[in-house]
A and B are shown apart, each in its own frame.
Chain A
Amino acid sequence: AQTVTQSQPEMSVQEAETVTLSCTYDTSESDYYLFWYKQPPSRQMILVIRQEAYKQQNATENRFSVNFQKAAKSFSLKISDSQLGDAAMYFCAYRSSPGGSNYKLTFGKGTLLTVNP
C-alpha cells in the first residue's frame, strides 16, 4: 500500500518570503498522480496543484510550484511571495495510475503553515 509522509508538522514564513513544504511517498508503481491540498481554518479542502508522475516538468500554478523528484519519491511544494491568506494546513496526496483503485487519494498527515506579517 502507498504511504505519504509529511515530516514537518508545522512551518512558518514571513509575509512575502518563500517557503517549501516537504512530502515523500512510498510506492512500487511507475505511473501515478500527486496533489497538494490546502485546508484553511474554514476546513474546506482546496486543490492547490497537481502533478502527473510521467511528466518530468514540474507543475506551476501562479505562486505555487512543485519540485518533483521521482527517483527520490519526493514532491515538495514551494510557495513564493507568501501571503497571509496562505496560512492553512497543507496536505500532500497520492493517487494510483489508471486501473485498480486509482480513485483513492492517500493523504499525508499535513503541515500547518503560519504566515507572519
Chain B
Amino acid sequence: NAGVMQNPRHLVRRRGQEARLRCSPMKGHSHVYWYRQLPEEGLKFMVYLQKENIIDESGMPKERFSAEFPKEGPSILRIQQVVRGDSAAYFCASSVSAGGLETQYFGPGTRLLVL
C-alpha cells in the first residue's frame, strides 16, 4: 500500500509566479489535510478537505491560497503570486476518517523556495 505521495518534492518559483502542490492520499483515505512548516517551526494546520468539499480552511491565508480535492485525482494546494514569505515545507496528510485516535499519515512534503 503506497503511502501519501506529494509532488514535486522541491519547487522553486520567482516572486509573482504560481505554485501548485499535489497530494495523492493513501488508498482508501478520503480525508486530506495540508500543513505548512516554516523554518525552525512546527507544522501548522492550513486546510482540511474531503472529496469535493472544503471542510475547514481556517488556517489558510485568505488571499492567494486555495485548495481542492476533486472527485478524481490528487488534492491540489495552489498559491498564486508567491512571495518570499511563502517559502516553507508544505505537508499533506491523509486519514481514513477524521478525529479520535485516527492516525494522519504524512507525505514527504514539498519544499517551496521563492526567489
Chain A positions within 8 Å of B, measured between CB atoms, are 4, 33, 37, 42-47, 50, 52, 91, 93, 95, 98-99, 101-110
Given A45-B91, A101-B56, A104-B48, are A33 and B101 neighbors across the interface (CB < 8 Å)? yes
A105→B104 contact, CB < 8 A? yes
A52→B109 contact, CB < 8 A? no
Closest to B40 in A: A109
Chain B positions within 8 Å of A, measured between CB atoms, are 31, 33, 35, 40-45, 48, 55-56, 58-59, 89, 91, 93, 95, 98-101, 103-109, 111
Closest to B48 in A: A103
B106→A91 contact, CB < 8 A? no
CA distance A109 to B42 in the complex (A): 4
CA distance A1 to B91 in the complex (A): 22
- Least Cβ distance of A29 to chain B in Å? 13
Closest to B99 in A: A102
A44→B101 contact, CB < 8 A? no
B45→A105 contact, CB < 8 A? yes
Contacts of A46 in B (CB 8 A): 106
